[in-house]
Amino acid sequence: LRWNPTIPLGLPHRLMQDDVYRGYYLPAGTIVLANSWAILHNPDVYPSPNEFQPERFLPLIPSTTNYTDKHNPDPRRYAFGYIPISEQFREY
């Protein structure tokens, strides 16, 4: 899914207040979309983003000097967004 996201432009969000992003003024109420495809093909985060390299997501052994886990962060950090949503689905 990283290589070819199902929703390349993400979901729309409406700004709640005025904002300035990279010198552009965005008034409150503006609809913005995140470019998921560009984020997931950023060569600063994913070297050779167009090459199939599944091993890049396999964590290295923590005792090695090259250990990095930037692509596999703690999954508990993602649960906060799903808990309230799952509570809503319980009612159906």
Domain, as residue range, for 25: 13-89
Between these two residues, 87 and 18, which has the higher pLDDT value? Answer: 18
What pLDDT score was predicted for residue 84?
53
Query: Has residue 5 been placed in a domain?
Result: no
Query: Has residue 72 been placed in a domain?
Result: yes
Query: Has residue 3 been placed in a domain?
Result: no
Q: How confident is the model at residue 25 (pLDDT cuts 50, 70, 90)?
A: very high
Q: What is the pLDDT of residues 26-82, one digit of tens each?
A: 999 999 888 888 888 888 888 888 888 877 777 655 555 555 555 555 555 555 555
Cα separation, 53 vs 92, whole angstroms: 41
Cα separation, 15 vs 33, whole angstroms: 11
Domain total for the chain? 1
What pLDDT score was predicted for residue 23?
93
Cα 84 to chain centroid distance, Å, stands at 19
Query: Has residue 1 been placed in a domain?
Result: no
What pLDDT score was predicted for residue 71?
55
What pLDDT score was predicted for residue 35?
84
Residues 6+ apart with CB under 8 A from 69: 59, 60, 62
Query: Has residue 43 been placed in a domain?
Result: yes
What pLDDT score was predicted for residue 61?
56
